[in-house]
């Protein structure tokens, strides 16, 4: 029964794991799609705002040119044919202009770029005229959207005051910017079926919108969530809100114009942004259902196999024996593990006794490795151990030599048929190879990863026991660390005994 319970628990955990990973991936994908959409609407709003700034700059330049011309020629030249031709040519050269107009101090039409000037026309009641009549400023004035009495088109007035030689109010020069121009321009961009681009005054009054809703011009969206919480508080940014006009959830990018009291809003429908993601999510859900069902069927088959008396214990014993044969290598570094080292060392040591050939052992320790783990983390620590192991492996060329991961950050090299001098030479090569790697280590005084090495070499009969052989190499390693690390120390009985502290 415990085996059945474990098998059932395993099957359940696999199903939960697969489902959890898939849900996490879907969530991350959704976040990524929304982030991309946020970036797109932010870039689109910046582009639209720059274009609007440029469009009104051109209108301002046209108005300023007319004002300057009047200052040279005098206001009396406004009614001449030359001025009419000039206004007409200037208006024709600027795509967004509906017309250019000059009004005298009483609001009467003095000149226009239009082909026909209505008799007795007067604009003294317009907001822009009253503004300049009451405020003595030469700065341009952008007024609220109005409907042209001449053409019926919705326009934005851009105007400047004209003074006579005495500095008194002499009239107004007006350029009218077509709102249809912006709506035509907005049509060039792919914002989906439910996307929107809107140009508003700073207070939220709608000037132009795509798609255009009936009677939306002049409507204020200043009380909506987008303006209340975002636009009024920030110069530009993004927001995910519901539109107060059509109640569509959108990701908006917004930006205020640099030189004029207006705001551009660009929004993408969240439904449309996530359409492809939803399709992907449904496909993933279908696949997960199939995988979970298949896994459950596999679990049922597993239960049946257990019930039919498969010899699981025998299979585990065989598998354990196979693993034992394979378990002679360290999984992280690829070097021999300590168990393999102890077996080979014992055999080589015994074989060394009758033949009297030399045996040498190098014990290696990574300097300040605990500090390295604390500063860089265990993943980086594992990579450091692997790098040192590669330096050891690359310097061992003889058949029979054995590189070992002894434990943690300690490693060893067993060298049959090598005397002390040869072992010290190899140890120095390994130490320099590690330094050449120049792995960053702020916890080491020299700033990079280094190693300490202890070397012992003898003929097998010179050591009373195998433990003495390993103990002396380890004592040499201790001396290397005691003397300052990043060095190789060979075991010499007299020097070591005097250098080491009393136990």
Q: What is the CATH number of domain 1-321?
A: 3.30.450.20
| Partners of 189 in beta bridges | none
Q: What is the pLDDT of residue 493?
A: 56
- Dihedral, CA of residue 64, residue 67, residue 68 and residue 70, to nearest 10: 160
Contact 349, 415 (CB under 8 A): no
Cα 45 to chain centroid, rounded? 21
User: Does 409 qualify as catalytic in the annotation?
Assistant: yes
| Partners of 220 in beta bridges | 205
Which of 185-189's residues contact partners 24+ apart within 8 Å by CB, and which partners?
A: 185/51, 186/48, 186/210, 189/44
- Using the structure block, give the residue that is written with the tokens 């700059």: 57
- Cα separation values, 49 from 96, 143, 200, Å: 15, 18, 11
The contacts of residue 426 (CB under 8 Å, 6+ apart) are 362, 395, 396, 413, 415, 418
The contacts of residue 161 (CB under 8 Å, 6+ apart) are 132, 135, 136, 137, 138, 169, 172
Q: What is the pLDDT of residue 501?
A: 46
Q: What is the pLDDT of residue 498?
A: 43
Strand 196-201 versus strand 262-269 pairing type: antiparallel
Reduced 3-state DSSP string for 203-249: CCEEEEEECCCCCCCCCECCCCHHHHHHHCCCCEEEEEEECCCCCCE
143-166 burial, b if ≥16 CB within 10 A, otherwise e? bebbeeebeeebbbbbbbbbbeee
- Cα separation values, 238 from 194, 212, 246, 276, Å: 18, 22, 19, 22
The contacts of residue 215 (CB under 8 Å, 6+ apart) are none
Contact 265, 252 (CB under 8 A): yes
Q: CB 303: neighbour CB atoms within 10 A?
A: 15
Question: Among residues 409, 428, 440, 467, which one is catalytic?
Answer: 409
Q: pTM (2 decimals)? A: 0.54
Strand 488-490 versus strand 451-459 pairing type: parallel
DSSP state of 135: -
Q: What is the pLDDT of residue 497?
A: 46
Q: What is the pLDDT of residue 297?
A: 81
End-to-end alpha-carbon separation of the chain, Å? Answer: 56
Contact 345, 466 (CB under 8 A): yes
Q: What is the pLDDT of residue 145?
A: 87
**CA distance linking residue 286 with residue 503, whole number of Å:** 69
Rg, the chain, Cα only: 43
Q: What is the pLDDT of residue 354?
A: 44
**CA distance linking residue 309 with residue 291, whole number of Å:** 27
Q: What is the pLDDT of residue 164?
A: 85
For the chain, where do the domains classified as CATH 3.30.450.20 start and end? 1-321
The greatest distance separating any two alpha carbons of the chain, rounded to the nearest whole angstrom, comes to: 131
- Cα separation values, 186 from 224, 256, 264, 480, Å: 22, 17, 11, 75
Is cis: bond before 211, omega within 30 of 0? Answer: yes
**CA distance linking residue 238 with residue 89, whole number of Å:** 41
Closest alpha carbon to 348 in 285, 279, 399: 399
Q: What is the CATH number of domain 327-499?
A: 3.30.70.270
Q: What is the pLDDT of residue 373?
A: 94
**CA distance linking residue 367 with residue 388, whole number of Å:** 11
H/E segment holding residue 64: helix 2-73
Local mean pLDDT, 10-residue blocks, the chain (503 residues): 66 82 89 92 94 93 90 71 87 91 92 85 93 91 87 90 88 93 92 93 91 84 92 93 91 94 94 90 87 79 66 60 69 90 77 66 96 94 96 92 92 92 95 96 95 88 75 94 95 56 39
Length of the chain: 503
Closest alpha carbon to 162 in 119, 89, 105, 240: 105
Is cis: bond before 126, omega within 30 of 0? Answer: no
Q: What is the pLDDT of residue 308?
A: 66
Q: What phi, psi does 25 have (nearest 5°)?
A: -65, -40
- Cα separation values, 496 from 241, 414, 461, Å: 76, 21, 21
Contact 464, 499 (CB under 8 A): no
For the chain, where do the domains classified as CATH 3.30.70.270 start and end? 327-499
Phi-psi region of 496 (alpha: psi -120 to 50; beta: other; left: phi over 0): alpha
Query: What angle do the packed helices 2-73 and 81-93 form, to 10 degrees?
Result: 170
């Amino acid at each position: 029964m415990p085996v059945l319970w474990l098998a059932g628990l395993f099957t359940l955990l696999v199903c939960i794991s697969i489902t959890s990973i898939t849900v996490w991936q879907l969530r991350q994908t959704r976040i990524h799609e929304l982030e991309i959409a946020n970036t797109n609407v932010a870039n689109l709003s910046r582009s639209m705002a720059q274009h609007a700034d440029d469009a009104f700059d051109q209108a301002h330049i046209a108005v300023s040119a007319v004002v300057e011309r009047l200052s040279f020629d005098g206001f009396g030249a406004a009614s001449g044919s030359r001025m009419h031709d000039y206004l007409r040519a200037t208006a024709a050269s600027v795509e967004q202009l509906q017309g250019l107009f000059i009004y005298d101090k009483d609001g009467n039409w003095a000149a226009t770029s239009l082909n026909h000037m209505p008799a007795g026309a007067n604009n003294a009641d317009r907001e822009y005229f009253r503004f300049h009549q009451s405020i003595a400023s030469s700065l341009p004035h952008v007024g609220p959207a109005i409907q042209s009495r001449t053409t019926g088109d919705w326009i934005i007035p851009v105007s400047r005051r004209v003074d006579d030689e005495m500095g008194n109010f002499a009239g107004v020069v007006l350029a009218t910017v077509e709102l249809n121009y912006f709506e035509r321009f907005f049509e060039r961009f792919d914002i989906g079926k439910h996307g929107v681009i809107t140009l508003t005054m700073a207070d939220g009054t709608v000037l132009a919108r795509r798609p255009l809703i009936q009677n939306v011009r002049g409507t204020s969206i200043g009380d909506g969530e987008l303006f209340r919480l975002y636009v009024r508080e920030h110069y530009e940014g993004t927001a995910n809100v519901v539109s107060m006009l059509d109640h569509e959830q959108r990701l908006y990018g917004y930006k205020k114009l640099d030189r004029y009291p207006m705001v551009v809003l660009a929004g993408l429908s969240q439904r449309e942004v996530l359409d492809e993601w939803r399709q992907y999510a449904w496909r993933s859900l279908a696949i997960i259902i199939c995988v979970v069902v298949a896994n459950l069927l596999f679990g049922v088959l597993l239960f049946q196999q257990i019930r039919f008396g498969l010899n699981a214990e025998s299979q585990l014993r065989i598998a354990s024996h196979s693993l034992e044969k394979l378990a002679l290598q360290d999984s992280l570094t690829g070097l021999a593990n300590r168990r393999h080292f102890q077996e080979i060392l014992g055999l080589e040591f015994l074989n060394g006794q009758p033949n009297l050939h030399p045996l040498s052992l190098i014990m290696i320790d990574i300097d300040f490795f605990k500090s390295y783990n604390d500063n860089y983390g265990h993943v980086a620590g594992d990579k450091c151990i692997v790098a040192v192991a590669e330096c050891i492996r690359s310097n061992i060329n003889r058949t029979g030599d054995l590189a070992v991961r002894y434990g943690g950050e300690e490693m060893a090299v067993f060298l049959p048929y090598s005397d002390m001098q040869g072992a010290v030479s190899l140890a120095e090569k390994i130490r320099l190879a590690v330094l050449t790697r120049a792995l960053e280590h702020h916890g080491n005084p020299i700033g990079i990863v280094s190693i300490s090495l202890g070397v012992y070499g003898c003929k097998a009969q010179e050591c009373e026991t195998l433990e003495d052989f390993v103990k002396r190499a380890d004592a040499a390693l201790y001396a290397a660390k005691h003397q300052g690390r990043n060095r190789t120390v060979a075991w010499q009985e007299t020097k070591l005994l005097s250098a080491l502290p009393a136990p």
